[in-house]
Amino acid sequence: MDAALAFSISVLLFLGLMQIKKIILELEEKNFLLDHISKTDSLTQALSRLETFHQAELEIERSLRNGEPVAFLMLDIDHFKNINDEYGHPLGDIVLTNLVKHCQKELRVIDIFGRVGGEEFFVVLPGDDIGSAFEVAERLRKRVFSTPSALVGGKEIFISISIGAASFSPKMDGETKSSLVLRTFYAKADQAMYAAKSKGRNRTEIWTQ
C-alpha cells in the first residue's frame, strides 16, 4: 500500500510539473507575440513608430562610438488621400502594405524601416553618407513608381513617393547625444521630403541649410 501510494504521488507530481511546464511555455509564447506586436506596425508589418525611434537611437549611439556616418530618409506617398477617396480605405491599406514590401526588397538587413505616420515612413541607413543615402532613396523611389501597388478590377494601381534625405557624421556635426541627433535629423529629413513635394513630387531631395 505504501508503495502504491508513493507511486500515485509521484505520478501526480510528474503530471503537475508537466502542466506547469506547459503553462510556462504558453506564457513565453504569448510574451513573444506581445513583444512582436508592440514593435511592429499591425497593418504593414514595418517597425512601429516607437520601435523605429528606439532602433534609430541605438544606431546613432553606434555611430558616435565608431565615428561612421548614419543617414536618414523620410518618405511619403504622393496624393495618398486621392487613392483612399477614389478606391476606398481597404485598397489604401493594400497600397501601404505593398509599399513596405517594395521598399524592403531594396534595403539591407541592417537598415531600419518603420512607419511613423499614416503614409509616412522613416528609414535609417547605418554607415551611409549623404551620397549613398541619395542612391538608396532613388532605388526606392524608382521601384515603387515602376511596380504596381494594387489591382482593382484588372487595373493596376501605381503610386509615387517623395523622399527627403539627411546624413549625420559624428566627425563633422559635433553633437554627442543620440536623442538630440535623432530629433534634429528626423526634422531635416522631413523638411527635405516636403521640399521634394513642393518641387513636383516623385523625387528625392537632400536637406540643405
Calpha distance 123→22 (Å, rounded): 40
**Residue owning grid cell 535629423:** 185
Calpha distance 118→66 (Å, rounded): 34
For residue 180, what pLDDT is reported? 95
> Would you write out the chain's pLDDT as a tens digit for each of its 209 residues?
666 666 667 766 766 767 766 665 555 554 444 444 568 999 999 999 999 999 999 999 999 999 999 999 999 999 999 999 999 999 999 999 999 999 999 999 999 999 999 999 999 999 999 999 999 999 999 999 999 999 998 999 999 999 999 999 998 877 789 999 999 999 999 999 999 999 999 999 999 87
Structural element, H or E, at residue 74: strand 70-77
Count CB atoms within 10 A of the CB of residue 167.
24
For residue 41, what pLDDT is reported? 95
Amino acid at 133: A
3-state secondary structure of 119: coil
- The pTM (predicted TM-score) of the whole model is 0.83
Q: Measured on CA atoms in the order 187, 192, 196, 198, is the torsion positive or negative?
A: positive
119 in catalytic set: yes
Nearest to 69 by CA among 151, 149, 175: 175
What is the grid cell recorded at 106?
531594396
Count CB atoms within 10 A of the CB of residue 203.
17
- Choose, from 61, 119, 135, 175, the residue flagged as catalytic: 119
For residue 33, what pLDDT is reported? 42
118 close to 41: Cβ distance less than 8 angstroms: no
What angle (nearest 5°) sits at the alpha carbon of residue 41, between those of residues 96 and 205? Answer: 55
For residue 172, what pLDDT is reported? 82
What is the grid cell recorded at 124?
535609417
* First-to-last C-alpha distance (Å) of the chain: 89
For residue 2, what pLDDT is reported? 65
For residue 21, what pLDDT is reported? 65
**Residue owning grid cell 548614419:** 70
